[in-house]
């Protein structure tokens, strides 16, 4: 199913904002509505922002009124340092319940639901497998508040998927994210000159770059991927290796016994180590990412490359500090720019798949390329025609492009090529 009218929750979160930006560049997408309790933090061109409460109670009316066919739920709090336990629970459990309820019902227009979940769903235990696959259950009941929330939220989503066979429901379980703009408990720890660890442990860590987080979510919107998918970069590093790549000092200062108390003391001096992270620092976690790769997603960063990219960003941070003005959302300005008849210079939509990334088509063999052509929109066909004529010049491909162009020729006389 092609998504045309999309609702993005958690617009103010990093992921929500980036996903909305990415979807804005999709030609087929007619409308994007973003909801959140806070203002967006990134600049958006055509996404409509609606402020809602933490519980997302009135979402049903928005979904019905805007005839939303796809919901991208990026709002789950997976890092307990970002907000209080109570607010996280409100958002994660009650919020998910209400969002799912807003999409349910026989007359609901929603046909696709993409849910951003977390690897914390699997927990972190001594007797874990080295790689969790999607079919595995949690071996133990959740231990930390945030894990409880995530398990409960996912349960609501799975119940929705079971009750709504017409909708394709995707659950993406992400490993810890890493990247220049991402602020998590882990990135704050990695920004310290010495990275604290638990003495006698060197846990296995897997990361996903922030661009891949957005990439996975966008991929799930663009394709039909019903089911659960793990999202994480290739490769699992040990913490000492991560710290080494970051160019920091590995400091195993947390005692193996009474670690919780020590972490509490560290919190007093400003180094916050939440309970779910404490478990990771001890036992580590790896996710088997092959299912999403088999579905066609190509990660841009391996775990190692994500760490390296993060290290580069960390080195640049002191130089860039205060460099750019952070984006501030002003409702009146946004409304004026979008709706006022006085505005004459509206920004041109920046469509994706511009010319330039067409080189990959040269490597396809002619028969495969000809089979692919009918699925391309007219503009892409034209671009590909020009590209083929200047590069590979395969006659059968050029002929097939001509045939497809003739078939999709618009009826209006404005098109120059129709003369």
> Contact positions toward other proteins, by CB under 8 A?
126-131, 133, 136, 198-202, 204, 234-238, 241, 256, 282-283, 286, 288-291, 293-294, 302, 304
What are residue 147's phi and psi, to 5 degrees? -65, -40
Cβ-proximal residues to 297 (8 Å cutoff; 6+ apart), any chain: 215, 216, 219
For residue 241, give Cα distances in angstroms to 54, 237, 246, 317: 39, 6, 9, 22
Nearer to other proteins, 200 or 402 (CB): 200
Nearer to other proteins, 139 or 377 (CB): 139
Question: What is d(CA 135, CA 286) in angstroms, rounded to the nearest whole number?
Answer: 14
CB 240 → other proteins: shortest distance, Å? 8
Nearer to other proteins, 99 or 198 (CB): 198
Nearer to other proteins, 130 or 265 (CB): 130
CB 297 → other proteins: shortest distance, Å? 10
Q: Computed from CA positions of residues 289, 177, 234, 252, in that sequence, does the dihedral angle turn out positive or negative?
A: negative
Question: By the 8 A CB rule, do 227 and 171 touch?
Answer: yes
Question: What is d(CA 157, CA 151) in angstroms, rounded to the nearest whole number?
Answer: 10
For the chain, the distance separating the N- and C-terminal CA atoms, rounded to the nearest angstrom, is 35
Question: By the 8 A CB rule, do 54 and 74 touch?
Answer: no
**Placement of tokens 């991208």 in the chain:** 72
Residue 255, both tokens: 């005692």
CB 130 → other proteins: shortest distance, Å? 5
CB 180 → other proteins: shortest distance, Å? 22
CB 33 → other proteins: shortest distance, Å? 35
- Reduced 3-state DSSP string for 66-128: CCCCEEEECCCCCCCCCCCHHHHHHHHHHHHHHHHHHHCCCCCCCCEEEEEEEHHHHCCCCCC
CB 215 → other proteins: shortest distance, Å? 16
> What does 30-47 look like in DSSP terms, one character per residue?
-EEEEEESS--SS--SSP
Task: Residue 416: count other Cβ atoms within 10 Å of its Cβ.
Answer: 6
Nearer to other proteins, 257 or 269 (CB): 257
CB 175 → other proteins: shortest distance, Å? 13
CB 126 → other proteins: shortest distance, Å? 4
Nearer to other proteins, 247 or 270 (CB): 247
Residue 282, both tokens: 């001890």
Nearer to other proteins, 283 or 361 (CB): 283
CB 71 → other proteins: shortest distance, Å? 28
Question: What is d(CA 120, CA 218) in angstroms, rounded to the nearest whole number?
Answer: 22
**Three-state secondary structure call for residue 132:** strand
CB 230 → other proteins: shortest distance, Å? 12
Nearer to other proteins, 282 or 310 (CB): 282
Nearer to other proteins, 46 or 293 (CB): 293
Nearer to other proteins, 244 or 380 (CB): 244
- Report which DSSP code applies to 416: G
């Amino acid at each position: 199913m092609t998504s045309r009218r999309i609702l993005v929750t958690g617009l103010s979160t990093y992921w929500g904002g980036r996903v909305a930006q990415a979807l804005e560049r999709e030609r087929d997408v007619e409308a994007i509505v973003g909801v959140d309790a806070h203002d967006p933090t990134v600049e958006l061109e055509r996404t409509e922002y609606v402020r809602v409460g933490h519980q997302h109670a009135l979402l049903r009316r928005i979904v019905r009124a805007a005839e939303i066919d796809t919901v991208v739920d990026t709002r789950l709090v997976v890092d307990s340092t970002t907000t209080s336990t109570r607010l996280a629970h409100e958002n994660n459990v009650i919020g998910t319940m209400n969002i799912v309820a807003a999409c349910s019902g026989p007359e609901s227009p929603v046909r696709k639901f993409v849910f951003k979940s977390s690897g914390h769903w699997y927990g972190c235990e001594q007797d874990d497998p080295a790689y969790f696959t999607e079919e595995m259950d949690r071996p133990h009941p959740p231990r930390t508040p945030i894990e409880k929330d995530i398990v409960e939220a996912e349960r609501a989503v799975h119940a929705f998927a079971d009750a709504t066979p017409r909708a394709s429901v995707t659950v993406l379980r992400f490993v810890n994210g890493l990247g220049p703009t991402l602020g998590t408990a882990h990135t704050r720890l990695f920004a310290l000159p010495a990275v604290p660890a638990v003495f006698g442990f060197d846990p296995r860590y897997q990361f996903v770059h922030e661009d891949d987080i957005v990439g996975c979510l966008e991929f799930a919107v663009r394709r039909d991927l019903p089911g659960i998918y793990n999202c994480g970069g290739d490769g699992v590093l040990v913490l000492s290796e991560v710290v080494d790549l970051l160019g920091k000092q590995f400091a195993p200062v947390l005692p193996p016994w009474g670690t919780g108390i020590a972490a509490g003391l560290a919190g007093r001096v400003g180094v916050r180590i939440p309970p779910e992270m404490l478990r990771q620092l001890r036992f580590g976690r790896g996710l088997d990412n092959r299912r999403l790769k088999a579905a066609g997603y190509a990660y841009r960063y391996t775990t190692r490359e994500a760490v390296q990219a993060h290290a580069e960003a960390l080195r640049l941070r002191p130089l860039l500090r205060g460099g750019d003005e952070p984006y501030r959302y002003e409702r009146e300005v946004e409304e004026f720019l979008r709706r006022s008849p006085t505005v004459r210079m509206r920004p041109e939509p920046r469509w994706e798949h511009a010319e330039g990334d067409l080189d990959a088509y040269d490597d396809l063999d002619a028969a495969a390329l000809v089979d692919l052509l009918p699925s391309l929109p007219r503009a892409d066909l034209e671009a590909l025609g020009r590209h083929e004529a200047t590069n590979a010049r395969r006659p059968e491909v050029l002929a097939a492009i001509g045939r497809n162009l003739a078939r999709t020729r618009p009826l209006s006389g404005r098109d120059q090529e129709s003369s």
